[in-house]
Structure 1
């Protein structure tokens, strides 16, 4: 993992960086493996309350390293469900959504193809206005197959997704914001993402994780099931020490001290 992804944890925030900057963080077999390993590591880090995901150098992620993939692919079959419901390429995008804590993507330069799908797995996406985006797969005669279809259904309109996929055209930050792919624009997405992460990390981590769980459930459940899930999750949060601490800290106008 160390030659493709770096994780640094400070004040309950995990700064996760793709570090293949000489190739604009393009996805080769080692990058797929490194991202999967990073997701697995983060899943077990109870003290991490928020993740900031970014790319080192000139870009967030330029998508597949086509030369590298042509010589052997990811090393696993697309038919194999190696990570729960997902294969390895799907997991490196979908896996961010399955983490218990929120993930903020800080995006700059380019987010093409697989990079765009990885970005889409984040809970919140902050981009530079000049970032270039593309659902790039049809350009190479492929279909988007890194969980994009599953992730985008709650982000953008169906007809918009079809147009961008069929044409593989590029678009920039303001259009990405208007279409719903980006949460907000910032000249320094990484700094903005960390400022937001600090706000999230200052809230009851059980409430934040529970809220993410509910948002993850809602696309696949009917109204009655969502109502039941709200009650079930709340019963695991209410009157627990961290929830009581949140109330006391608010009343005393001080920073809360939580137990992770």
Structure 2
């Protein structure tokens, strides 16, 4: 059984890490479950927001389980572990629903990259952020040097990735990475999610796509998705489909 669960609270969905004995570190099974849950959530129009949480431990997520990748051949590590994990995290970042991550503890390595996929973050005052990969002879592999740089900025990410420094909640808040510091980040995240429940789902989805396009997140798909949304309700589209089915030349009305 995977240690990543999808739990529903009415219109709010919760993605919960549940691997506390390993500080909620990611395993292969957890990555597969995350991909499955993302596909399900994208197609569920009853969901207004997704809250990302973790079972109580000293860490929100300590990153990737070293046992899951340490014995892999170099080509397997690069092609499967890094590339597939990157793809799954991209899937979560580009979810059509707004996402709020509740950092109840430390977020290191892949755990920080996981938190970076969310649209909004809350954080416990004692939690810290770190990219410790250089200490075990690897580099960030799930967008720690890409998406995280866009969110935190080059200097701060270099402090973590090159110098091994931890960033506390106050600095994360000052950098805009965290929306709220709370003694109960999960409750704070759920409150944010509740505040989204009476907003237009389509407006929020379109706004998320446009903002992502502005920073280069899935820009190509965003442009084509929004353009498709413009032409889908037109009479021209209806005429084109009818003409195709009736095997005749279309007569587009231009509206």
Using structure 1 for the length normalisation, give the TM-score.
Answer: 0.78
Q: Which residue is 1:24 aligned to?
A: 23
Q: Which runs of 5 or more structure 2 residues have no equivalent in the other structure?
A: 232-255
Cα contact 2:109–2:144 (8 A) shared by 1: no
Cα distance in structure 2, aligned partners of 1:77 and 1:47:
38
Q: Distance in 2 between matches of 1:8 and 1:79?
A: 31
Tell me the distance in 2 between the aligned counterparts of 1:235 and 1:9. Answer: 32
What's 2:64 paired with? 64
Specify the SS of the correspondent of 1:220. Answer: coil
The Cα of 1:24 is off from its aligned counterpart by: 1.3
Distance 1:57 1:162, change over 3 A: same
Q: Residue 197 of structure 1 aligns with which residue? A: 193
Aligned-pair CA distance for 1:175: 1.7
Q: CA distance change for structure 1 residues 194 and 94 in 2, over 3 Å: closer, same or farther? A: same
Deviation at 1:183, TM superposition (A): 2.0
Whether 2:215 is the aligned partner of 1:219: answer: yes
- Which structure: larger Rg? 2
Secondary structure, in 3 states, of the residue corresponding to 2:92? helix
Provide the residue aligned with 1:39 in structure 2. Answer: 38
Name the counterpart of 2:112: 116
1:107 aligns with 2:103: yes
User: Aligned residues, how many?
Assistant: 227
Supply the distance in 2 between the matched residues of 1:76 and 1:30 (Cα, whole angstroms): 16
Pick closer, same or farther for the CA change 1:76–1:39 going to 2, 3 Å: farther
Counterpart CA distance in 2 for 1:95 and 1:147 is: 12
User: After the TM superposition, which residues 1-260 of structure 1 pair with which residues of structure 2 at under 5 Å, given as runs?
Assistant: 2-58=1-57, 59-72=59-72, 78-79=78-79, 87-220=83-216
TM-score by length of 2: 0.79
Distance 2:35 2:176 in 1: 26
1:34-54 per-position Cα deviation (integer Å, ceiling 9, x unaligned): 222222222222211100001
